A and B are shown apart, each in its own frame.
Chain A
Amino acid sequence: MPCELDVDTVDIHAAASALRDAAGYLEQPIRLPTATTLGAAVPHGSSSAREALRLAMRRAEEGLSATQRLADVASETARKLDGAADSFDQAEQLCLAGF
């Protein structure tokens, strides 16, 4: 068929679906005591230990933030893939309709 584009949109939608799954895993809300609760938990501890604990929690939260940013990237990429696949499908339909 002359209107058939050399693009398998089923595979593209499958890729988008897998990326949305990936985003789902990455977006699982996980959160533990924050630096604020840390401050309350260690009011008089040794300053070195307190600082190290604060850094530990900050590192963990930075990891969480980076993970969630990746979820955004995955969702956005999935959205673009779906959008592109839809465009291809529409282009084929228009072609078949004689446009």
Chain B
Amino acid sequence: MSHVTSYWAQQYGLVDPASTAADIEAADPGIADAAAHLLNSEILALRFGRERAAVALSAVASGWSTTAPHDAVRTLMSLSDQVEQACQDTLPVVSELSAAIAKAHGDVATAYAAADDAIAAMGLGSRSWTGGVDEMLRIDGERAALVVNLNAAIMSIARSLDAAAQCAAAAMTIDPAAVLPPMAVSPAAVEHHANTALLGDDLRSPAGRRHHFALAVNSALQRARAAGYTAQLLRYDPDDPAGQGGVAIAIGDVSQATSVAVLVPGVGNSPVAVADGFELAHALNAAADTAGGRTAVTATVLWFGYDIPLSSAKDGLWGNAYDAARGAVRDSVRAIDATDALMGGASLAAFVHALRPLTNPAANLSLIGHSYGSTTVAQAARYLDKGAGVDDVVLLGSPGAGYGVTTARDLRAVQADHVYSLSFPLDPVPAVGASSVVAAVNPVGQIARKWAFGADWGPFGPDPTGDAFDANVIAAPSNVPAGSPIDFDQHALTNYLSGRSLDAIGAVVAARYRQVPVRTAG
């Protein structure tokens, strides 16, 4: 604050009231208003929710003779009432705090305005030599007195604000959450809420790439809810990787599950279309639950956390035509070798480290990759060590296991006999098709790989269904009848996650290894 009294305070060696005034003005009533707005929103949500819960209570009362469901809904309503009461109790305190801060700001302005009036009335603005020394001393004295009085007034306002703030703080030291009976909250639910809060921020952001991404993820979560699935948003990162965004949604509660599968998609998939995988995840959960028996509960995480090649058409995230074209070219070029899988593997390894604390420590954790996703999974399994908590690796329709991998033993995350692979005979991608095509379009790739890695594993690395790789090769037929020589339906993830192959993969996920049909050597 620049005011003449600050200059006079310095001149006469007095306390400058502007310092305290600045402190008062720095307290932002908008923060308290924002908190009050949030509390009001919560109260409204709780009321609407409670109304619907009352409808549920009435329906459950007529449809059920035992008391358990009735009690569950009643408990929910009771908890809702308690949370609403806690919000109601806090709301007036927060509103009073906002009012006290606003009043303090007004009082500071009034005190300075009164000082300005006094300066004008008493002619203290300028000092004239013509009045003589007595007059100059009088003016100096009046100025000093005015600064002292103004400082006293500002200090008084600060004390009043302090008192109001301390009063509010004391009223808020009773934690509203503490009045609630403990509710079992899983770590995954906490992660979900943290990510949905970030999602909410982006939903309210101006239209743009982040907003577009948030709309897609929000729509996916709504779709899961409409389908009756438990969906947990375990990762939400609109800025990563490489502008495509990253997302991981679990179908099922990973904290409660006895088995958790992480499903990594291949080329052409996009995080904004994550909902397309929900039914497959649900089917995999059902297959694993069947294999696992009565107590088995499976959750499948759809992990879209790497820069998935050939996805730009679905992404729709590029700002303008130039960016879109550049993104599409970069996106396509990356499909010609395992470079993205190299980096994606590191990201997936990091996700596994973050996921494990959210799961039951005893839960069986499988990494399942399809197509280019299998290359990514293999690379992650190469980075991770056995302490990372991965139990099984499943590579489906794989163009290759990526660089730095020769056999299943190179996937350090698991024992070699816990590496499974499956490629249908007519799947055009593993059947040398992908490698042949990219070798034709990228003849320098072989030289570059030799230079970078000291060996050439081909554009995508070794075939994990080959004898030399020494994985457990799942023996299950394709679910798509033989048709044209190059039939990409053979390669589809829906084909791999159907019929007997789905049963076999479900058995791996549930750690029922004896139920997994594997190809015998030779």
| Chain A residues engaging chain B, CB cutoff 8 angstroms | 6-12, 14-16, 18-33, 38, 41-46, 48-53, 55-82, 84
Inter-chain contact A32/B49, CB cutoff 8 Å: no
A44 CB, min distance to chain B CBs, angstroms: 5
Our count of residue pairs bridging A and B at CB distance below 8 angstroms stands at 238
Inter-chain contact B26/A56, CB cutoff 8 Å: no
* Interface majority SS (helix, strand, loop, mixed), chain A: helix
Q: Which residues of B lie under 8 Å from residue A12 when comparing CB positions?
A: 59-60, 63-64, 69
Inter-chain contact B45/A28, CB cutoff 8 Å: yes
Inter-chain contact B35/A66, CB cutoff 8 Å: no
User: In this assembly, does B440 line the interface, its C-beta being within 8 Å of a C-beta of chain A?
Assistant: no
Nearest residue in A to B26 (C-beta to C-beta)? A45
User: In this assembly, does B250 line the interface, its C-beta being within 8 Å of a C-beta of chain A?
Assistant: no
Report the bound CA distance from A65 to B49 in whole Å: 15
Inter-chain contact B90/A9, CB cutoff 8 Å: no
Inter-chain contact A55/B173, CB cutoff 8 Å: yes
User: In this assembly, does B230 line the interface, its C-beta being within 8 Å of a C-beta of chain A?
Assistant: yes
Interface size class of B (residues with CB under 8 A): 35 or more
> Given A15-B69, A49-B27, A79-B230, does the pair A67, B59 have CB atoms closer than 8 Å?
no
User: In this assembly, does B12 line the interface, its C-beta being within 8 Å of a C-beta of chain A?
Assistant: no
0/1 string, B78-101, CB within 8 A of A gives 1: 011001001100100110010001
B251 CB, min distance to chain A CBs, angstroms: 12
User: In this assembly, does B447 line the interface, its C-beta being within 8 Å of a C-beta of chain A?
Assistant: no
Report the bound CA distance from A65 to B55 in whole Å: 24
Q: Which residues of A lie under 8 Å from residue B76 when comparing CB positions?
A: 19, 22, 70, 73-74, 77
Inter-chain contact B225/A81, CB cutoff 8 Å: no
Inter-chain contact A77/B63, CB cutoff 8 Å: no
Report the bound CA distance from A37 to B51 in whole Å: 34
Q: Which residues of A lie under 8 Å from residue B62 when comparing CB positions?
A: 8, 11
Inter-chain contact B176/A63, CB cutoff 8 Å: yes
Inter-chain contact B23/A52, CB cutoff 8 Å: no
B50 CB, min distance to chain A CBs, angstroms: 7
* Seed contacts A63-B176, A76-B230; 15 additional CB < 8 Å A-B pairs: A15-B73, A22-B48, A22-B52, A23-B49, A32-B35, A44-B26, A55-B173, A59-B90, A63-B39, A64-B197, A69-B185, A70-B80, A72-B185, A74-B76, A78-B228
